[in-house]
Amino acid sequence: MPGSYKGGYMGRILNVDLSKGKIGEEALPGDDVLRKYIGCWGLGLRFLYDLLPPGYAATDPENPLIFFTGPLTGLNLPGATNITLATKNFDTNFTVGRSHSHGRFGILLKMAGYDGVIITGRSEKPVYLWIHQGKAELRDASGLWGKDTHDSEDHIKMDVQEARSSVAAIGPAGENLCAGGMIANDKNHSFSHSGVGSAMGAKKLKAIAIFGNAPVAVADAERLERVRKQWREALDRPGHFGMKVGQAKTKMAEYRYMLDLIGFVGRNFRINQLSDFGRGWSRQKFTPRPCPTCPIGCSYDVQVMEGAHKGYIATLSGGGEALEGAGSILNVLEPGTIFYLTDQYDRLGIEGSAAGCTIAMAMEAFEKGLIKGMDTDGLELIWGDAEVAENLLRKMVYREGFGEILAPGVKEAAEAIGGEAPDFAAHIKGSGINLHDWRSAWGVLFGQIVGSAAGWPAPGADCWTIEPDAGYP
Ligand code: SF4
């Protein structure tokens, strides 16, 4: 029963069978399971273990998409916005797939009355799922198929006639089953890892829209408020790494500082210091777009103030990996172009390292003479040529011409190109990586390599440290 669970749970899971067009629900597991697995990935991976027998591919109807919030999601606590997705990893097809996102999507799922959503089967035609105020329905999305993530969000909000709703949608990359397909939500956020957008595209599920406004019950509101105050004070302490709302430019400076320590991914990992990367970023216009209740506010819009894309507004989020995937790895250094191209990745629904590593590998293969213009539909793949990069990106996500070679991801594409190309294809188990040059922090790289999900994220086997002080036994 909704609300009968204290301690931040709503008590219900939504079940959707796309093959049968059936929607049902089940009660959240009991206290013994919740105390063990808590929520989000813990609970999601437990369900995945139970629901998916060995031998199925990420694109099989049997592969479930398991979205879970945690007991803190939706409470008035700093950054309490997390929602995770567990499924079979599309990019490796042999490890688990783990992804997570922020924004309003998880919060509204809780407030619509559900802790999680489990989606199985495969629809015959494109559909989207509309979850609202304790109810859910499937709606036709044939007219949305082919639209990018941002346009899909705008259309669906109009269709459900609820401007306060949150929409998570795939783009052409997920529809066309490209490596690194992601699910974008609330414009500034995404489930980026493990090719989850392509696992969703295989189900012909274009999007999930949610609205709800039920309060989330807690066991001890007074005690929670005391914790919230302590938490806020800790965040306000000088020297805390996160930025405060309104300091988007400072975040950019911090990012630059951090990468001076770690190293950028430059020209497909061949250089890791680029004095021009990051120059001129502060001349663009940043507007913080913090998630509800978050004092850190890593998400931002950036309006390009100069150059070929002057006036364009990119809707991005904290972490610079995607900026390296659209910028330094391709030797694209002009700030406005980097923000524009990063936003194109988001709109087309492809994760930055999957797209960036693949295009960079192709550029290096072209430089080394392994492929020529006759292989690339006449394109000259020259480092730093942003127009060529965007052209390749579109060919890849729409599987046109040379893009058909690139769409399965950097590992398979390099094998298809042949020669020494697999030697300079950057990936982990065929999946994307956390796109910095981690050769100055081997502990982190090691964590990504041995982490169960492949690539990033790999919590539990990750250690933020600069060698030689490993920091753990
Ligand atoms: S603004 Fe950034 S730090 Fe804050 S909750 Fe959202 S994603 Fe997390």
Give the CB-side neighbour count of residue 240, counting CA atoms within 13 A: 13
Confidence at 5, pLDDT banded by 50, 70, 90 = low
In whole angstroms, give the CA distance from residue 17 to residue 64. Answer: 10
- Ligand 1 centroid, distance to 299 Cα (angstroms): 6
Q: Which residue has the tokens 């400076």?
A: 253
Domain hosting 374: range is 248-440
Same domain, 80 and 141: yes
Query: Tokens representing 131?
Result: 């979850």
Q: Indicate the residue among 183, 211, 239 that finishes a domain.
A: 211
Question: For the chain, what is the radius of gyration of the CA atoms?
Answer: 22
In whole angstroms, give the CA distance from residue 116 to residue 106. Answer: 9
Query: Is the preceding omega at residue 71 within 30 degrees of 0, hence cis?
Result: no
- Ligand 1 centroid, distance to 235 Cα (angstroms): 13
Residue nearest to atom 2 of ligand 1 (CA): 298
Same domain, 181 and 252: no
Query: Tokens representing 20?
Result: 């049968």
In whole angstroms, give the CA distance from residue 103 to residue 96. Answer: 24
Q: Is 72 in the pocket of ligand 1 (CB under 6 A)?
A: no
CA 290 to ligand 1: nearest atom: 1
Same domain, 256 and 203: no
Each residue of 266-310: pLDDT tens digit?
999 998 777 777 788 888 998 889 999 888 888 899 999 999 999
- Ligand 1 centroid, distance to 285 Cα (angstroms): 20
- Ligand 1 centroid, distance to 295 Cα (angstroms): 8
Q: How many structural domains does the chain have?
A: 2
- Ligand 1 centroid, distance to 250 Cα (angstroms): 16
Query: Does residue 434 belong to any structural domain of this protein?
Result: yes
Q: Is 299 in the pocket of ligand 1 (CB under 6 A)?
A: yes
Q: Indicate the residue among 211, 234, 267 that finishes a domain.
A: 211
Residue 380: CB atoms within 10 Å = 11
Query: Does residue 349 belong to any structural domain of this protein?
Result: yes
CA angle (179 as vertex; 410, 150 as ends), nearest 5: 125
Q: Is 288 in the pocket of ligand 1 (CB under 6 A)?
A: no
Q: Indicate the residue among 156, 191, 211 that finishes a domain.
A: 211
Q: Enumerate the H helices of 38-161 as residue ranges.
A: 40-51, 105-111, 149-160
Same domain, 94 and 193: yes
- What one-letter code names the amino acid at 21? G
Each residue of 185-240: pLDDT tens digit?
999 999 999 999 999 999 999 999 999 999 999 999 999 999 999 988 888 776 55
Same domain, 270 and 205: no
Residue 114: CB atoms within 10 Å = 25
Query: Does residue 418 belong to any structural domain of this protein?
Result: yes
Same domain, 191 and 320: no
- Ligand 1 centroid, distance to 402 Cα (angstroms): 37
Each residue of 45-84: pLDDT tens digit?
999 999 999 999 999 999 999 999 999 999 999 999 999 9
Say how far residue 271 (Cα) sits from the centre of its chain.
26
Confidence at 2, pLDDT banded by 50, 70, 90 = very low
Q: Is 294 in the pocket of ligand 1 (CB under 6 A)?
A: yes
Each residue of 43-54: pLDDT tens digit?
999 999 999 999
Same domain, 256 and 134: no
Q: Which is it for strands 205-211 and 127-132: parallel, antiparallel or unpaired?
A: parallel
Could you tell me which of 148, 205, 162 has the C-alpha nearest to residue 343?
148
How far CA 109 is from CA of 159, 298, 406, 411, in Å, comes to 19, 22, 36, 36
Torsion of CA 352, 354, 359, 363, to 10 degrees: 110
Strand order in the sheet with 96-101: 22-27, 12-17, 116-120, 65-69, 83-88, 96-101
Same domain, 200 and 260: no
- Ligand 1 centroid, distance to 294 Cα (angstroms): 6
In whole angstroms, give the CA distance from residue 199 to residue 177. Answer: 8
Same domain, 125 and 31: yes
Could you tell me which of 410, 384, 256 has the C-alpha nearest to residue 320?
256
Query: Does residue 222 belong to any structural domain of this protein?
Result: no
To test ligand 1's pocket by mutation, which of 299, 300, 301, 315 has the most ligand atoms within 8 angstroms of CB? 299
Beta bridge partners of 13: 26, 116
Query: Does residue 388 belong to any structural domain of this protein?
Result: yes
Query: Does residue 148 belong to any structural domain of this protein?
Result: yes
Identify the residue with better confidence: 3 or 55.
Answer: 55
Query: Does residue 242 belong to any structural domain of this protein?
Result: no
Same domain, 260 and 400: yes
CATH number of the domain encompassing residue 86: 3.60.9.10
What average pLDDT does range 385-414 have in this prediction?
98
Query: Tokens representing 279?
Result: 């120059």
CA 297 to ligand 1: nearest atom: 1
- Ligand 1 centroid, distance to 188 Cα (angstroms): 10
Whether residue 352 is predicted with pLDDT greater than 50 in this model: the reply is yes
pLDDT at site 443: 73
Q: Is 107 in the pocket of ligand 1 (CB under 6 A)?
A: no
CA 80 to ligand 1: nearest atom: 5
Confidence at 255, pLDDT banded by 50, 70, 90 = low
Residue 3 makes CB contacts below 8 A (sequence gap 6+) with 10, 11, 214, 217
CA 82 to ligand 1: nearest atom: 5
pLDDT at site 313: 98
Across 152-197, the runs of DSSP E, i.e. the strands, are 166-170, 183-185, 189-191
Same domain, 66 and 198: yes
- Ligand 1 centroid, distance to 289 Cα (angstroms): 9
Same domain, 193 and 299: no
Strand order in the sheet with 300-303: 285-288, 300-303, 313-316
What average pLDDT does range 5-14 have in this prediction?
88
- What one-letter code names the amino acid at 276? D
Query: Does residue 227 belong to any structural domain of this protein?
Result: no
Q: Is 337 in the pocket of ligand 1 (CB under 6 A)?
A: no
pTM over 0.85, yes/no: yes
